Amino acid sequence: MGERPYVLLSCAMSVDGHLDDASPERLLLSNAEDFDRVDAVRAGCDAILVGAGTVRRDDPRLVVRSAERRRERSARGLPPSPAKVTLSVSGNLDPSSRLFAADGTTKIVYVASPAADRLTARLGAACAVVDAGDPPDLGRVLSDLAARGVRRLMVEGGGSIHTQFLQRDLADELHLVVAPFFVGDPAAPRLVRGDGLPQGPRRPMRLVDVRRMGDLVLLRYLMSPSPAGEPSAGEAR
């Protein structure tokens, strides 16, 4: 893999690690202060990425909401909102999803080779459809984003996507918000499904910030090892 953007994973979960419940309605895991914080993080990035599962389930707009932040970006010569990026193997994406709305932002879909032509025909001029290989390769996606000028990428889920970035060791930072309740349903989506995560007890992440937002808490972790001489979380116990 060539150059890649700085990758920041962002999500909110219940105390027992669920990103949602299993009901048809979307579970609210954030509050107004956290939505505003996420908006500020979005405004500091060049692109925002979600998986196709999140597009189908949540239909997010993925834009910077604050008019002031949009103005600030424009004043810096940037588009008002970062580029929107999604990943799909099947190509099962609805062109009427809010992510594809004609709002002036750059939109890119990375899709597995077999579905690329069909999806290009379906999404038309709404976005760039990029063949990401078969199977699609996250490293290739990141190299392509870097070539398009994306230096800072925010990944907003869902669980399948976060898991793969962590498993492939392609994340630099994790913003984890914990909501003050349990979901308690094994059928509900989790932050991580599967094993083989390098960020285990032998290579813990570094906690660099904790912020209370009402009954929510934000934990900000860096993946890079502790600077020489500083004890890691594992060693401190």
What is d(CA 119, CA 79) in angstroms, rounded to the nearest whole number?
A: 26
Q: Which is nearer to ligand NAP, 160 or 226 (CB)?
A: 160
Long-range CB contact pairs, 124-129, < 8 A, 24+: 124/95, 126/95, 126/100, 126/102, 127/84, 127/100
**Contact assessment for residue 171 and residue 9, using Cβ atoms and an 8 Å cutoff:** yes
Q: Does 29 bind ligand NAP (CB under 6 A)?
A: yes
SS3 at position 146 = helix
CB of 187 to ligand NAP, least distance (A): 11
Q: Does 92 bind ligand NAP (CB under 6 A)?
A: yes
Among 88, 97, 105, 120, binds ligand NAP (CB under 6 A): 88
What is d(CA 27, CA 183) in angstroms, rounded to the nearest whole number?
A: 10
Q: Does 48 bind ligand NAP (CB under 6 A)?
A: no
Among 23, 74, 90, 113, binds ligand NAP (CB under 6 A): 90
Span interacting with ligand NAP, options 76-84, 145-153, 160-168, 228-236, rule CB under 6 A: 160-168
**Dihedral sign, Cα of residue 212, residue 216, residue 220, residue 221:** positive
Q: Which is nearer to ligand NAP, 44 or 234 (CB)?
A: 44
Span interacting with ligand NAP, options 12-20, 63-71, 74-82, 213-221, rule CB under 6 A: 12-20
Q: Does 58 bind ligand NAP (CB under 6 A)?
A: yes
What is d(CA 86, CA 127) in angstroms, rounded to the nearest whole number?
A: 10
Count of chain residues binding ligand NAP (CB under 6 A)? 30
**Class of residue 34 by CB neighbours under 10 A (exposed 0-12, middle 13-18, buried 19+):** buried
What is d(CA 49, CA 46) in angstroms, rounded to the nearest whole number?
A: 10
Among 7, 19, 108, 129, binds ligand NAP (CB under 6 A): 19
Which spans of this chain sit near ligand NAP (rule: CB under 6 A)? 11-12, 19-20, 26, 29, 50-54, 57-58, 87-90, 92, 110, 132, 136, 138, 156-161, 164, 189
